[in-house]
Structures are given as C-alpha cells and as structure tokens.
Amino acid sequence: MHSEKDEEPPCDTCRPKFIEENADAVRIFYLVRSQFIMGFDGPIDISHEAIHSQMELRKIKDREACFDKVLIMSDEWMKRMKDG
C-alpha cells in the first residue's frame, strides 16, 4: 500500500500497541511468527527452537518470561489462523 505511493508507512498507527514490559516478547514473536509447525488442519504449535534461538541471538535477559509471553501470543495467532 505505502510502497505503491513511494512513502514510508505511519508505523505508529500500523503497529499494535503493547505494554513496554512485553517489548522483548513482541519483538521475538514478530521474528518467529512464520515458524509454525503445521498439521493437516493448520498450525499446531510454534517452533520452540526458533524462539530460543532468537532470544539468544537478541540477548534477551529474562528468557523464561519472554518465552511464556511468546507462547501466549502464538496461541492467539494460531486461533486467528484457524478461524480464517
């Protein structure tokens, strides 16, 4: 949409709002959001290895909390994928 107009998107209005304490989890989720494990009926889980790999690469301090938050986001994402 914005690339057709040769302009930068208004990121402040495009990106969902989140609580600052969730910033690491949001960042990691957006990096791994294409790493779902697919079954016959759609996604069944997200790759835990992909999450851990990105948390290590990005030097996330509280990895346990971040991992739990990413799993919560991925569950919601899978529900939306299945609901179409």
The predicted model gives 12-36 an average pLDDT of 87
43: left (phi over 0), alpha (psi -120 to 50) or beta: beta
| Domain residue spans of the chain | 3-83
- The DSSP annotation for 29-63 comes to HHHHTT-EEEETTEEEEE-HHHHHHHHHHTT-S-H
The predicted model gives 55-59 an average pLDDT of 98
The predicted model gives 17-27 an average pLDDT of 91
How far is residue 72's CA from residue 74's CA, in Å, rounded to a whole number? Answer: 5
Q: What is the pLDDT of residue 14?
A: 62
